[in-house]
Structure 1
Amino acid sequence: MLIEGATPPDVMRARMLLEPMVAAEAARHADAGDVALLRERIRIGRCAQDRAACEQSDDMFHRSLAQITGNPILSGFLIYLSGVRRRVAWQRHWERTYQRIGTLAFLTTHSDQHERIVDAIEDRDPDRAALLMSTHLETIKKSMSACD
């Protein structure tokens, strides 16, 4: 019921509150294997050929961050938000956004932002990881708002 009532702006507000803290917590707990996994997620994202592949690789990147925290509650929240992103209202809104920004924005801007987040995690800098995640989500929010 919560998922059906969530609007795309609701989802973005929730992500903007939660995901910077997830990135910070990942920076506190990540080991070399975790960083390698995140870098592999980015590599896959940079190779995405269409919207579905872009969205799937983005989802896996964000969910991997939550898993790295070692906190099942945070992982559960990210899985929940991932489910919301697969719902009709989000997909319609994201389709309009995607038609405007295209694959190139994901392969460049979004992947570059993911890369900077991972750099902060590798440096074990939770404050920078949180700030970079906020910046990343703000980029997405602006892209989606331009399609309203």
Structure 2
Amino acid sequence: MRRLQDLLVSDAVPADGRLPPERDLAARFGVSRARLRHALDALADKGTIYRRQGHGTFAAPPVVCGSTALSRIAREATPQDVMEVRLEIEPALAAHAASRARADDLARLEQMMLATLDQCERAAYETADDIFHYNIAVAAKNPLFLEIFGSIRTVRKLATWSDARRETHTPEVMARFGGQHRALFEAIAARDSAEAARLMELHLLDVNQTVRRRATEAHPA
């Protein structure tokens, strides 16, 4: 449904990406809820929208909103704090994704991996990178892990240094990280949990070193 796809990229979608209830969308577009649900199912299969049971339907991977604790953590946490946690969590997510991902999970993951290979603009790359890592967490098939990962994403997005992080994404860095994403996807698709965990750790270590190097260059001792 073209009008629904236009809505997803319009200013009408709130900052948290949450879409209106199905009954409201059906009334807005003048279609039955069954037809609307069919369109939403097709977009969800493509990874264009995201559903979280009990939370709603989102135009982008949802973040945890309204949490005073996460807002406080975002004010206090440094990029290094976040990377320490990611290095503990995401290799395990990659390993679980390799053993548990369904065919539709792999299709969405491949789509987002390819998107990270085809971006020359920093903001677009960061969006594709974010959704790629989010879909690995989804493919791990553990709701508690996904909630923890969602909290990490929320802190990253709320932190005051989130925009500055984008400056590390030079064309050379984006190309290197994209190649790492390809290798990581291939390990997950091959059901090689150990290799997926190893590659995720190497990728995050490279991300961490790149961010630290950029910070040193910007603020030399």
Write out aligned runs for 1:63-74 (5 A): 63-74=134-145
Equivalent residues of 1:66, 1:75 under 8 A apart: yes
Higher helix share: 1
Are 2:152 and 1:84 equivalent residues in the alignment? no
Give the greater-gyration-radius structure (CA): 2
Runs of 4+ in 1 over 3 A off after TM superposition: none
Deviations 1:8-46 (A, max 9, x none): 000011101100000001011012222221110012222
- CA separation of 1:2 and 1:68: change in aligned 2, threshold 3 A: same
Displacement, 1:50? 1.5
Equivalent residue number for residue 135 of structure 1: 202
Identity across aligned pairs (percent)? 31
Instruction: Give RMSD over aligned pairs.
Output: 1.5
Between the aligned partners of 2:131 and 2:87, the Cα distance in structure 1 is 17
Size of the aligned set, in residue pairs, is 144
Between the aligned partners of 1:88 and 1:17, the Cα distance in structure 2 is 20
Equivalent residue number for residue 144 of structure 1: 211
Larger deviation, residues 79-88 vs 131-140 = 79-88
Counterpart of 2:213, as a letter, is: A
Deviations 1:94-122 (A, max 9, x none): 14423xxx13421x211111111111111
- CA separation of 1:92 and 1:73: change in aligned 2, threshold 3 A: same
The structure showing larger relative contact order (alpha-carbon pairs under 8 Å, at least 6 residues apart) is 1
* SS at 2:214 equivalent: coil
Give structure 1 stretches of 5+ with no counterpart.
none
Counterpart of 1:29, as a letter, is: R
